[in-house]
Amino acid sequence: MGENTVRCRMKAATRLASALPSIPSATGGIARLASGRLRDAQIELAPILSAAGLTIDDIEDRKRRIDARAQIRLLELAARELQDDCFGFHLAQGFELGEIGLLYYVMASSEHLVDALQIVGRYCAINNEGVRLRTSLEHGVAIRFEYVNIDRSLDRHHAEFWLIALVRICRALTDGRLVAKQIKLKHYRQETPLDVRSHLGCEIEFAADRDELLFPSQIGTLPVVGADLHLNKMLLQYADQALNDRASRRTSVRSRVEDQIAQLLPHGKANAEEVARRLGMSRRTLARALSSEGVGFSNVLEALRIALARHYLEEAERPISEIAWLLGYSEISSFSHAFVRWTGLTPRAYRSSNGVR
């Protein structure tokens, strides 16, 4: 490879790394529900979590947020292990809604259903930064969910979980069996499963142009059973604080370190000394700053490498040799060994399992 070619590719890689979207995180509640189903079926959990990019500690520590994309992958893998083609639908039917946490209780203390839906749209990033909810009152009460920095085409079960969960929440808040006028999902199924159609009371339009629930206009004014405006006001303050905490995370030392690592990886200089120099601090100061946020440099480096590896492998046209180089590996074999250690799959097997050709 000529010197000019290498220089051009390094510049392109740096621009690409800098432009990569932030990695959306989630509280991991859905992943923990899925893990519980796997354990109930006496299926060994660790290998499946590893293939999704997670660990037992991620599941056991309920205070730990996880990669939102890893949660989606886990549901797909769990569905395969449990041989349940409607796993997302079924998983959402049985869990206790209070497990959603603060967000659910803010909704449950609202005055009207439309108030609760607008609240969840504003604060849903508290639970999952990878999903954005929008409520429109133009042609009825439309609840649309959109993925943020996540490839929607790789998901079925996670989106179906969200659909059922939203319907259950609306029914619980109003104490009525609300039935949507129309339901659309972007992914393909040949037809609506019978038990799902019975639960929803209507068909689902698959392979649609959006993910959306559409209810009749009049449901928006339905009162929320057990509304408590004083409690709602207090909980909204907690929700604002939680949302601000998520925003401040993006300016944390860890996020600044991740930005530098992404740019340095193709150059083979993603080490603590160089990152500390670029951030204008000593290596010891950097270590203390990261420690105050509960992480170490090596943990941040490996987590980012895993996330970037998955991101690059989902781009079908990118050769694995180039991905290895972008991640700072001089040999494809070194990258392959690392990727197997992270996920239990080779890079090519991972591509195949995600439908990338």
Tell me the C-alpha distance between 57 and 212, whole Å: 34
The residue behind tokens 């259950």 is 168
| C-beta of residue 137 within 8 angstroms of C-beta of residue 215 | no
> What sign has the CA pseudo-torsion 257, 262, 263, 265?
positive
Token pair recorded at residue 96: 């206790």
For residue 312, give Cα distances in angstroms to 104, 168, 321, 356.
35, 37, 11, 11
Tell me the C-alpha distance between 309 and 313, whole Å: 6
Residue 22: what pLDDT? 60
In this prediction, residues 91-97 reach a mean pLDDT of 94
Residue 41's CB is within 10 A of a number of other CB atoms, namely 12
Q: Give the list of residues 6+ apart from residue 332 with CB closer than 8 angstroms, or none.
A: 320, 321, 324
Q: Any idea which of 175-184, 217-226, 267-276 has the lowest mean pLDDT?
A: 267-276
The CATH T-level fold of domain 3-22+250-353 is Arc Repressor Mutant, subunit A (1.10.10)
pLDDT at residue 99 above 90?
A: yes
For residue 244, give Cα distances in angstroms to 119, 145, 253, 304, 326.
15, 22, 16, 24, 33
Q: Which comes out higher in pLDDT, residue 190 or 307?
A: 190
In which residue ranges of the chain is CATH 1.10.10.60 found?
3-22+250-353
Q: Decide: helix, strand or coil at residue 320.
A: helix
Query: How many residues does this entry show for the chain?
Result: 357
Token pair recorded at residue 121: 């749209």
Q: Any idea which of 45-54, 163-172, 190-199, 308-317 has the lowest mean pLDDT?
A: 308-317
Tell me the C-alpha distance between 90 and 183, whole Å: 17
Average per-residue pLDDT in the chain? 88
For residue 34, give Cα distances in angstroms to 1, 80, 160, 354.
47, 12, 13, 19
Q: Decide: helix, strand or coil at residue 112.
A: strand
Q: What tens digit of pLDDT does each residue of 12-66 get?
A: 555 544 444 467 889 999 999 999 999 999 999 999 998 888 889 889 999 888 8
Alpha helices in 20-152 (DSSP H): 29-40, 45-52, 56-60, 68-82, 87-94, 102-108, 113-123
Residue 90: what pLDDT? 97
The DSSP string of 135-196 is EE-SSSEEEEEEESSS-GGG-SHHHHHHHHHHHHHHHHHHTS----SEEE-SS--SS--HHH
